[in-house]
Amino acid sequence: MKFNNSFPYPVLSNENDNYKNSTFETTIEAQKSFGQLYVNLKSALQDSTISQLITEGKAKYALHIECPQTSYRQIFQSEDPYIVATVPDNRLRGKVDVHPFILANQRIENYDNPSLNDFYKGFPITFEKGNILALGEAVEITLFEEDEESQNLPSIVTIRRSESAKDMVVSLNSPQIIIELPKKEYDLYAQNAGSRLKETILSLVILPSLIDVFYALKEDSADYSEYKWYQVLEQIFKKNNVPFSHIVDGTLPVLKAAQMVLQNPLEKAFNEIQKLNEAEAE
Amino acid sequence: MKIKFLSEDTLQDLRVNFETYKPHYYQKDDAWFDAYFKEEGRLIESKIEFEKPELNFGDDYLVSDYENVKAIYDSLKHLTVSQATQERLWAGLAHVQLRDYINYRIAKDIEKKNDKRIQSAVFFTNGAKRSLFVHILARLWWVGYMTYDENHRENPYWLTEFFCSADFSARCVVFFSSNFTSNTAITKGILRALVELRDEGVDIKRAHFVEANKYLNISGGAMVLDLLEEDEVKEMIEKRLRKVFGFEKKKVLN
């Protein structure tokens, strides 16, 4: 929703003249990366009275994020003029409204400010918790739909049953990444892959394989660039605003890269284990 | 099993040619629907696992709506909200895997050939957000999602139960078309205030819901309500309703 611009009390904003000589400037940048939307707020406040209220903890910088379609509505607050709000992108769809503020964090009585427009002089002003002291520039972010099926890792990884292998083997010399499992393990994998522990199984099988893949790339990435799996991985990183070259040059540790691609695999796996254990305890 | 989405083509075909296809809806013509969806490219099997819920087909919607909110939300709790806003998913479930529920829940509208309701029950015809609370299946999930109280361990559906106890269809739209109810602290705060009044013997009506939303709209013009805790919202709404409705003394308003 849009917050309106007329308030029953003075608000510091570029849109009105409630204050003289004071300013509140904001810039907002948003970036999608590996399943998260990061919204960065930078604000610059030029007003000593309001700054003092923030120092005293009576007011705070705030970033309000709302996605009408998915009923997402959250406020992020800080005494710091820089706020990074992280929202899982599956909580959002389409249009997202972002509003920066400075908000009263508690009741503020007898508010006075030498910068106030003369119009307000002599009136006692009280702010309630949640009232707006300063209003920055609102931003609308539009998230584009991604084809969930094609961005998924499964399109480039195949798990096969091996008659001869004694351990898990990853082979890279084909359009897909082939993970070979010993036959007994494969059969168990096939039986359980769709079960309540499917994320846990992904962590067991895919996570170490991806680590292996990224180490291979570090050694010689040119060798693989023709393969589809290489191109898809490169795309995945590009879409998430992380240069793929960072893996090769070591800026991005391979362990981290693998976890990024799987989007918090440990958390997902432990959540499953926790749920299963809870269910058993009941 | 996996949830089956309608392909974009199929969704558009069903929507655009509703006039042609509507006799099959009136006649609950399973044979026709089954043949139609067997055609290649009609359905897309998603990766979303799903155990078909045991839905309640009882005579009294006041009972079955609540039971079905729980059944649908329990079986599809793992949907992400962005999946749960997809028309292709809900239209798919309504036409294929849960068609029997549609025939049950809008039986009267089907009998009366109420085309508008048939369409809004199986497609999204009311805008991206409102449709979620009008579509006959999507609204079950969304009411579950919005009212589920995980802090209430014995019965996380206690607010759901209250919400479904009267006037379900109208409450869905009135209550959740407000932007403020997107914030769960606000939603739960309002519902807790209403439950408290109900427990004191007040017969909670549509007017009470409307007043709560109206008051938030007015207050929300001057403050950022999202800063409030659930308890603060509850207190604020309770105070307002007691004032406006004179509490028990004048509780019959409409």
**Does any domain span residue A12?**
no
Indicate if A136 and A170 belong to the same structural domain.
Answer: no
The DSSP code for A251 is: S
**Does any domain span residue A4?**
no
Q: How many structural domains is chain A composed of?
A: 2
**Does any domain span residue A77?**
yes
**Does any domain span residue A240?**
yes
Instruction: Give the structural domain span for A115.
Output: 23-142
Please name the member of A9, A68, A92 whose beta carbon is closest to the beta carbon of B179: A68
More confident residue, A79 or B247: A79
Indicate if A157 and A117 belong to the same structural domain.
Answer: no
Cross-chain residue pair B85–A103, CB shorter than 8 Å: no
Specify the pLDDT at position B247.
Answer: 67
For residue A142, the SS3 value is: strand
Nearest-Cα distance to chain A for B53, in Å, is: 17
Cross-chain residue pair A9–B183, CB shorter than 8 Å: no
Q: What is the pLDDT of residues B47-90, one digit of tens each?
A: 888 889 999 999 999 999 999 999 999 999 999 998 999 999 99
Q: Is B169 on the interface with A (CB under 8 A)?
A: no
Last residue of one domain, picked from the residues A88, A111, A142? A142
CATH number of the domain that residue A98 is part of: 2.60.40.10
**Beta strand residue intervals within A146-269, DSSP E:** 157-162, 169-171, 177-182
Euclidean distance between CA atoms A169 and B111, whole angstroms: 61
Q: Using the structure block, give the residue that is written with the tokens 């798919």.
A: B92
**Does any domain span residue A251?**
yes
Specify the pLDDT at position B251.
Answer: 46
Last residue of one domain, picked from the residues A142, A173, A193? A142
Euclidean distance between CA atoms B63 and A69, whole angstroms: 29
Interface subset of B 48-87, CB within 8 angstroms of A: 49, 80-85
**Does any domain span residue A158?**
yes
In this prediction, residues B119-139 reach a mean pLDDT of 91
Q: What is the pLDDT of residues A39-56, one digit of tens each?
A: 999 999 999 999 999 999
Specify the pLDDT at position B250.
Answer: 43
Specify the pLDDT at position A47.
Answer: 95
Q: What is the mean pLDDT of chain B?
A: 91
**Does any domain span residue A100?**
yes
Indicate if A160 and A91 belong to the same structural domain.
Answer: no
**Does any domain span residue A66?**
yes
Spatial contact of A156 and A232, defined as CB atoms under 8 Å apart: yes
**Digitized pLDDT (tens) for each residue of chain A, 282 residues in all:** 566 677 889 999 998 899 998 999 999 999 888 888 999 999 999 999 999 999 999 999 999 999 988 889 999 999 999 999 999 988 988 889 999 999 999 999 999 999 999 888 878 899 999 999 999 999 988 886 655 444 456 678 888 888 888 899 998 877 788 898 998 999 998 888 877 888 898 899 999 999 999 998 888 777 787 777 888 888 888 888 888 889 888 899 999 999 999 888 999 999 989 988 888 877
Q: What is the pLDDT of residues B153-182, one digit of tens each?
A: 899 999 999 999 988 999 998 888 788 888
Indicate if A53 and A137 belong to the same structural domain.
Answer: yes
More confident residue, B200 or A222: B200
Q: What is the pLDDT of residues B203-235, one digit of tens each?
A: 999 899 999 999 998 888 888 899 899 999 999
Specify the pLDDT at position A32.
Answer: 85
Nearest-Cα distance to chain B for A17, in Å, is: 18
Interface subset of A 163-222, CB within 8 angstroms of B: 194
Indicate if A34 and A85 belong to the same structural domain.
Answer: yes
Last residue of one domain, picked from the residues A109, A142, A175? A142
What is the helix (H) or strand (E) element at residue B49, kind and residue range? strand B43-49
Cross-chain residue pair B224–A128, CB shorter than 8 Å: no
Euclidean distance between CA atoms B227 and A77, whole angstroms: 9
Indicate if A211 and A171 belong to the same structural domain.
Answer: yes
Q: CA quadruple A14, A18, A19, A24: dihedral positive or negative?
A: negative
Nearest-Cα distance to chain A for B161, in Å, is: 21
B181, two tokens: 């109810």
Specify the pLDDT at position B234.
Answer: 94
ipTM over 0.85: no
